[in-house]
Amino acid sequence: DTAVSQTPKYLVTQMGNDKSIKCEQNLGHDTMYWYKQDSKKFLKIMFSYNNKELIINETVPNRFSPKSPDKAHLNLHINSLELGDSAVYFCASSQPGANTEAFFGQGTRLTVV
């Protein structure tokens, strides 16, 4: 069984469109994250949620809106897509605390044309 699953795996869309990426975890974790990996492989946190509440928002544009309907899901909706949004987006989950392992999904490769 996949621990952290993201859909879709690949997403190609035109500038200006609105798209969503879904993430689900079946590990019973309280904390979920979204990370962005750019073309140079830098990984940067975008959001973290704990028990459906936003904990970290790392200066992400308002066009990005995460939504956590329950603890097992953290979806990412992006409005008015721009070329610079092209990247691989990773969802992850963990229990809170610095000594807990974070499990990552396989990533969603978003290409904006």
Partner 1 sequence: GEDVEQSLFLSVREGDSSVINCTYTDSSSTYLYWYKQEPGAGLQLLTYIFSNMDMKQDQRLTVLLNKKDKHLSLRIADTQTGDSAIYFCAERSDYKLSFGAGTTVTVRA
Q: What is the nearest approach in angstroms of partner 1 to the Cβ of residue 23?
A: 12
Q: What is the nearest approach in angstroms of partner 1 to the Cβ of residue 35?
A: 8
Q: What is the nearest approach in angstroms of partner 1 to the Cβ of residue 83?
A: 22
Which residues make up the interface to partner 1 (CB under 8 A)? 4, 31, 33, 40-45, 48, 50, 55-56, 90, 92, 96-99, 101-107
> What phi and psi, each to the nearest 5 degrees, are found at residue 38?
-85, -175
Contact by Cβ (8 Å): 89, 106:
no
Q: Which two tokens stand for residue 108?
A: 């969603």
